[in-house]
Amino acid sequence: MPSTKRPKPLYQRGRYALYRRADRDNLEIVWYDEQRKRERSKSAGTAIVGEGRTALDRLYLADTEHRVCPTCHRPWDHSGSPLLLTALSDYLILSEHKPGFRGTKNRIGHAIDYVLATNDAIKTAAVDQRWIDGFRKWMADKPNPDGSKRSLSHIEGCVLQISAAINATPGEKAPFKAEQMKAVANSPTFRADIPMIAAMFNYCLRPKGGRSDKERAMIAATRGNLLAYLRMAVATWARPDAIYEVTSYQWHSAARVLNLNPKGRRQTKKYRPMVPVPKQLAPWLDELDGQWLPVSSIRHGWDNMRRELKLPGKGQAGEKLIRRSMATLARARIGEANWRQGEIMLGHVKASISDLYAVPDPANLGLALDATEAIIDEIEALAPGAYRKFTAAQPAFAVVEGGKNG
């Protein structure tokens, strides 16, 4: 009995083809195994065609390094230079488990938008300096969601990401160069003082508006994640991405040290240090079980706070404001002679401290710790409840924890 002819695949790349089978919910990836001399198949793990294509791409890319010509370094299927859209999508798949993937996805997204807006059939080999200059102009004319103009450093970061995607494609090399980041960076100059930081805590703890204490408590509950972010940012001087990833597994209670680099994450140029934890934050970490922030972003809540407190826009008062401000405030207290401790706290200098218990020592990071605790005490005086927990014996004020929105 002749076999039933297989229908045209929903998607195909190289030797891999995507099919839908009537007797199965999930899509199926089929390919011919040259070593075993037989056809093989694997479930795509989804019934959605778009997700099935991505699953097939992952399988293809995992096999690519063994299907590249050692002489010309191009794929054996002689497909020539691939579409730029394909190269960008492949790079995202290859980067999805790397540190900083969220930023990579954002920058590659801008590049994909530009390709779709201009010529979605452009090949990787055709991406030259002229194309990149056009992309730079398009990005400069495209405002941020808040209406502000995009910074040169952000645009150049996207160019660097396009270059990395092309260079990661077998047989391709980017023929253009990105500008040095130092030449285009325009670092924010605004810094928040202690009263302003206290005002941020009060924004979360004592919201304006509402017709009753109950309504104000409900508003405060929605700002719980923003409050948690502020607590961690002030206490550790950490970058936003590090704060989002903090879990209880990084906390060494006995030594009172927090490892900002979670287990299994490779260090990058943006080094994440082990930092001493102020006495005001330690009780919160002792009670922590799992993720410090249950959300992937507090951007919406931060922007609302920035507008209400009339903080400057145009990138001057983003989520990194706390990190920059804490460095400025603490530097004056630590002194220039001991500022290396501040550089270690920020991750700008790698520490050689191997003993967890030595981290809070004054000879290592103890001076930075003392400065941080003093700053927190001043914030607490202006914003009671910023760190201190109130009990039933103090009925004049109650701190509301929780909330699902940033």
Residue 316 has pLDDT above 60, yes or no: yes
**Predicted TM-score (pTM) of this structure:** 0.63
Determine contact, residues 130/89, Cβ cutoff 8 Å.
Answer: no
Q: How many CA atoms lie within 13 A of 369 on its CB side?
A: 21
pLDDT in tens, 339-380: 999 999 999 999 888 899 999 999 999 999 999 999 999 999
Residue 145 has pLDDT above 70, yes or no: yes
Nearest to 44 by CA among 31, 55, 32, 30: 55
The type of residue at 28 is E
Structure tokens at 346: 């920020």
* b/e map 230-268, b = 16+ CB within 10 Å: bbbbbbbbbbbebbbbbeeebbbeebbbbbbbeeeeeee
Determine contact, residues 277/256, Cβ cutoff 8 Å.
Answer: yes
Q: Which of 88-102, 123-137, 308-322 has the lowest mean pLDDT?
A: 88-102
Determine contact, residues 186/199, Cβ cutoff 8 Å.
Answer: no
Alpha helices in 223-358 (DSSP H): 224-236, 240-244, 282-287, 299-308, 321-334, 340-346
Q: How confident is the model at residue 184 (pLDDT cuts 50, 70, 90)?
A: low
pLDDT in tens, 62-104: 675 544 454 555 554 445 678 898 889 888 887 877 767 888 8
Q: Could you give the percent of the chain with pLDDT greater than 90?
A: 49
pLDDT in tens, 217-275: 999 999 999 999 999 999 999 999 999 999 999 999 999 999 999 988 888 888 999 99
Nearest to 323 by CA among 270, 387, 382, 381: 270
Rounded alpha-carbon distances, angstroms, from residue 383 to 197, 371, 377, 380, 405: 9, 18, 10, 5, 21
Q: Could you give the percent of the chain with pLDDT greater than 70?
A: 88
CA atoms of 383 and 377, how far apart (whole Å): 10
Average model confidence (pLDDT) across the chain: 85
pLDDT at 74: 52
Rounded alpha-carbon distances, angstroms, from residue 254 to 43, 274, 358, 370: 47, 14, 12, 18
Structure tokens at 126: 């055709």
pLDDT at 66: 43
Rounded alpha-carbon distances, angstroms, from residue 363 to 53, 179, 347, 351: 55, 40, 17, 12
CA atoms of 388 and 284, how far apart (whole Å): 10
CA atoms of 135 and 393, how far apart (whole Å): 61
Mean pLDDT of 318-323: 94
CA atoms of 330 and 320, how far apart (whole Å): 16
CA atoms of 406 and 388, how far apart (whole Å): 21
Which has more pLDDT, 50 or 366?
Answer: 366
Residue 280 has pLDDT above 90, yes or no: yes
